[in-house]
Amino acid sequence: MEGVVTLAAHVAYHGAPFAGFARQPGQKTVQGELERALATVFREEVLTTCAGRTDAGVHARGQVVSFDVAEVLVRDRTPESLRRSLNALTDEAVVVRSVERTRPGFSARFDAQAREYRYFIATGDTPPLFMREFSWFVSRPLDVDAMRRGAAYLIGEHDFKSFCTAASAVGKPTCRFVESIDFAAQEVMGEPVLVMTIVGNAFLHSMVRTIMGTLMMVGRGLREPAWVERVLDAKQRCAAGENAPAQGLVFWAVRY
């Protein structure tokens, strides 16, 4: 569009203070914070599009947000100065890592090829201190090999209706492609964690948390790995495990 510039911001946030990413009337949200800051900077309403909406309490390391502004409004602004302004105006739980000018019409959502989430499980003998706000504490041993075998049923393109909030699936397509699910043991500031990394083209509402909760039942020995396939085939939310706690989930990266 002539006279319009498309910008992309790379954003990280601590999810605890927010009712999710998407703007909601009367609620504190990440999108609301960003659009309020942009409106202050440019003195007009600026609407944003994100790579992936996160639920209440979910964190982000690599969220991407795109928006259009009139070229005249950025003529005297560098991406660096805009980044500094946005960080000064947004909630302290939000950090704008960078702002860059991108091709006209770029959409953080529709141009994304794959999204990566990571879920952190604290596995030590005692509750975590440094990872307390970023993990699900599980004190009992987990059968990680069984979790891997269960996760294998989810790789590829499937109808993930069993793995999303039931209300969000009404009248909407629920097929998604999961590229990979991996588990790795790590140590963060001396605290042992098990990290599930999941990559897919897109994810349904609460899909990653439901997958994690389902695989946790396998890891605890409450279900065998093949049960995951039956959950997938059921296409009913009640067939799957609980939603894993929001604080363990991080929107890690986007691939364009």
Specify the length of the chain in residues: 256
The one-letter code for the residue type at 10 is H
Alpha-carbon span 67 to 1, nearest angstrom: 13
Alpha-carbon span 72 to 177, nearest angstrom: 41
Question: In the block, which residue shows the tokens 């100065």?
Answer: 81
Residues with Cβ within 8 Å of 52's Cβ and at least 6 positions away in sequence, in order, are 21, 63, 109, 112, 115, 202, 203, 251, 254
Residue 111 annotated in active site? no
Kindly name the residue from 55, 91, 182, 233 that is annotated as catalytic.
Answer: 55
Query: How many CB atoms neighbour CB 227 within 10 A?
Result: 18
13 known member of a binding site: no
Alpha-carbon span 28 to 20, nearest angstrom: 8
Q: Is 102 exposed, middle or buried (0-12, 13-18, 19+ CB in 10 A)?
A: middle
Q: Is 156 exposed, middle or buried (0-12, 13-18, 19+ CB in 10 A)?
A: exposed
- Answer for the pair 17, 246: CB distance below 8 angstroms, yes or no: no
Question: Where in the sequence numbering do the catalytic residues fall?
Answer: 55
Binding residues: 117
